Chains A and B, each alone.
Chain A
């Protein structure tokens, strides 16, 4: 039997639709408001009083509110709004509502099973919602229409209705006064394949069968699966898994594999173990991704539609089952198809075990995961070369169409999908499977390396900052803008703490100075966020060329300058601290080992900042020179002005106190070239730019152990030096300028 928790999904949707909350029965949509279309005031109270934000929360939220039905909250209000039970609701033990005599719509709302598996928890935590519990295998069988629907007298009014409608004028709408065109616009249009996801089932020639139906009709084998069958199914499953990880819903990827709907029904040991393995992998992956919370809807879809994720079987059992299949295959006659299957089972087991290792708390498990990943990587070429052994899809999948083959039904979950326009998940091709897995394994290996990193800056205690960097670039920039406000507050607090600590310290050790450490530290991070924000604008190609000059100005003349002074301050206070500690230690031990000159921890940062500052300064001067030479197209500002654009670009900086934002007028003053006499010409600027790039190059070439970042900047700096010199010398005057952005 398919386990779908459609009740949960329905509740989620109802809540989104501002359905009424029934405090007695603890769910939404139990009551409908007959009357005004808009939510009445008290309904709003109940809605917010519910204090739930997700279907999950709703399920977990129990016994926190008195058993009150919305009707009772009305208090002394006259029944301006009549509250009636929503049709289709499979009622339960009577709601206090009933006693009011409002039960116009038929009796007998016996509640179905009041237990639902709590989402997110592995294992079955049953939450009993109501005292009366009926056994109902279908779970929240809201589908079976209640007596109301069957017994209620449905009167056909088709002809009258159509006739009445014809009386309306062309373009006239009949509607309640609170329902308007705006609301009408958001309705899904039925029978339009672009909007109606439920239509697709009617359009295909084959009958859409679920797992149980397919087994019964013989359309799917649960035993005596041939090796090519198994290999083909497993490969397609892997592809579905990858497609899911790339951002599509489980309903349209992994869950289109019928075998994972109910592995208990599978008799073939290899297929059974594999199905359980895939479910476990999905479950753990989903848990981890949810916890990290660095994604938005476009990146990843975590919904499991109430499917059971093999939580009736332990993790150990599943890995054991996979191992048994492996051992069995090894004993058999070794031929290609056997080893192909073997590799796939082993790969699944290694991946699952590695993910399980991450759930353990001991740090030794990270090393374990690393080893497993290396083993998994070794299997990849075997996987790739044996793809052809598997049963192939019956249809052409080159354009990403879902493969049609035994074991899969792309439309089996169609009715679970939310009521939006139909979305199609392009399942990746088998040939690309190994490519993706290679990258995945590399990423997991890198993650394992994190625990070895000793650099403080990679383990920033700013949780949100770390999370921000997990998001995709566009979201990142947005969030960085917002986080600046928080940093400003933090800066303020840090300064206060500094002041307090300073006065405290002065009393204890007058020689030592608490040199605003915390304030400096926060400032450093604020500046980095601001710089990151501006730089990401380049990456996202947000700025027009005529804007470059002020962006670069802000970076070089302002942000990097501040950053450098902040870093030097930190550096010098660190040195001061060390000196004091040394002096204190001198008194204790005479035999002081000759300390080698330690590389200062901040020196690299300072160097890189200097290099960047020079690069930005060079770019700034270049852009000004280009403008002078008429190489930059400036828009005719009709509705806005450069000031408006400038202020918009730097708007998120307005909440930051230190450093104070530079407004447009100020910027113009500070960057005015006429304050020099004689004011520089374009050739002077080209020369100056060239010198900046030169300076950057020199700085970077002196960096010990250059990393890829250093090399990338050098790659940009070097040709720029040359080009600037040429431009300064008057060459290439007629060339058109297009700027290619190098990702730094």
Chain B
């Protein structure tokens, strides 16, 4: 995953392919395989494991479940299981993760 090298002052982090990447990318990598909740432009919400993303914020979720109404309502009915789903970046309204996921942790 990522290793931290002490550079001239600002820590430079090496990505898995030895690329140099900034602080923000490191955060993204920490989010991989974490639960994520994404609200789409048509009002549907997808909850799943964050697996992949690209520059345009196209996100792939694993074991994704689709909910119809906002998740703060109890009357949303049953989720539809989608499996692997990709949300185009321009259809993403909001992205949420569970607060614990933001704590960086090292995985073997």
A residues at B contact (CB < 8 Å): 4, 6, 9-10, 13-14, 16-17, 19, 29, 32, 34-35, 37, 80, 86-88, 104-105, 138, 141-145, 149-150, 152-158, 160-177, 179, 183-184, 186-192, 198-199, 202, 415, 419
Contact = CB atoms under 8 A, between A and B. Distances in A.
A202 B43 contact: yes
Contacts of B88: 189-192
Nearest to A29: B63
A47 to B, nearest CB: 15
B94 A172 contact: no
A407 B57 CA distance: 43
A150 B96 CA distance: 13
Nearest to A170: B55
- Considering residues B27, B32, B51, B88, which has the most beta carbons from chain A within 10 angstroms of its beta carbon? B51
Given A32-B49, A149-B47, A179-B51, A162 B57 contact: yes
A4 B80 CA distance: 12
B54 A186 contact: no
Contact of A160 (B27, B51, B65, B82): B27
A412 to B, nearest CB: 12
Contacts of B95: 156-158, 161-162
A160 B26 CA distance: 12
B84 interface: yes
A699 B76 CA distance: 74
B83 A161 contact: no
Contacts of A13: 81, 83
Interface of B: 16, 21-22, 24-25, 27-29, 31-35, 37, 40-44, 46-47, 49, 51-57, 60, 62-63, 65-68, 71-72, 74, 76-89, 91-100, 102, 107-108
A27 to B, nearest CB: 13
A457 B55 CA distance: 67
A184 B41 contact: no
Given A155-B102, A179-B51, 13 more contacts: A80-B108, A150-B71, A153-B98, A154-B97, A155-B99, A162-B89, A164-B27, A173-B52, A174-B54, A183-B51, A184-B86, A198-B80, A419-B85
A153 B28 CA distance: 18
Given A17-B63, A35-B107, A88 B47 contact: yes
B12 to A, nearest CB: 14
Given A87-B35, A198-B44, A188 B97 contact: no
B55 A166 contact: yes
B86 A174 contact: no
A172 B52 contact: no
B11 to A, nearest CB: 16
A152 B96 CA distance: 11
B83 A154 contact: no
Nearest to A179: B51
Contacts of B56: 165
Contact of A143 (B24, B33, B41, B77): B77
Nearest to B32: A176
Contact of B84 (A144, A150, A155, A186): A186
Given A156-B95, A174-B28, A183 B57 contact: no
B42 A191 contact: yes
3 pairs of A and B residues whose beta carbons are closest in the complex: A143-B78, A164-B24, A153-B99
Contacts of A105: 98
Contacts of B37: 154
20 contacts: A16-B83, A17-B83, A34-B34, A80-B108, A143-B76, A145-B74, A155-B97, A161-B31, A161-B53, A164-B25, A167-B24, A168-B55, A174-B54, A183-B84, A187-B60, A188-B82, A191-B40, A191-B42, A198-B66, A419-B81
B65 A174 contact: no
A152 B46 CA distance: 16
B53 A419 contact: no
Contacts, number: 185
Given A415-B78, A419-B81, A165 B57 contact: yes
A190 B53 CA distance: 14
Contacts of B84: 183, 186-188
B57 to A, nearest CB: 5
Given A174-B53, A174-B54, A198-B44, A188 B86 contact: yes
A415 B94 CA distance: 23
Contacts of B93: 158
Contacts of A156: 94-96
Nearest to A140: B78
A167 B108 contact: no
Given A17-B83, A187-B86, A415-B80, A32 B63 contact: yes
Contacts of A37: 33, 51, 62
A80 B76 CA distance: 36
Most buried by A among B29, B57, B67, B80: B80
B54 A172 contact: yes
B28 to A, nearest CB: 5
A150 B75 CA distance: 13
Contacts of B76: 143, 145
A14 B84 CA distance: 11
A175 B96 contact: no
B74 A152 contact: no
A457 to B, nearest CB: 48
Contacts of A170: 55
Contact of B96 (A6, A154, A163, A202): A154
B10 to A, nearest CB: 15
A156 B66 CA distance: 18
Contacts of A142: 78-79
B91 A190 contact: yes
Contacts of B77: 143, 415
Given A167-B22, A415-B78, A199 B96 contact: no
Contacts of A160: 24, 27
A144 B99 CA distance: 21
A169 B55 contact: yes
Contacts of B89: 162, 165
Nearest to A87: B35
B87 A191 contact: yes
Contacts of B99: 152-155
Contacts of B41: 191
A188 B100 contact: no
Nearest to A199: B42
A163 B83 contact: no
Contact of B91 (A104, A176, A184, A191): A191
Nearest to A35: B107
Given A154-B37, A154-B96, A415-B80, A168 B54 contact: yes
A174 B55 CA distance: 9
Contacts of B46: 190
Contacts of B24: 160, 163-164, 167
A165 B42 contact: no
A153 B77 CA distance: 21
Nearest to A197: B80
A150 B72 contact: yes
Contacts of B67: 145
Contacts of B54: 165, 168, 171-174
A13 B83 CA distance: 8
Contacts of A143: 76-79
A10 B40 contact: no
B51 to A, nearest CB: 5
A188 B43 CA distance: 18
A128 to B, nearest CB: 22
B29 A174 contact: yes
B89 to A, nearest CB: 8
B32 A174 contact: yes
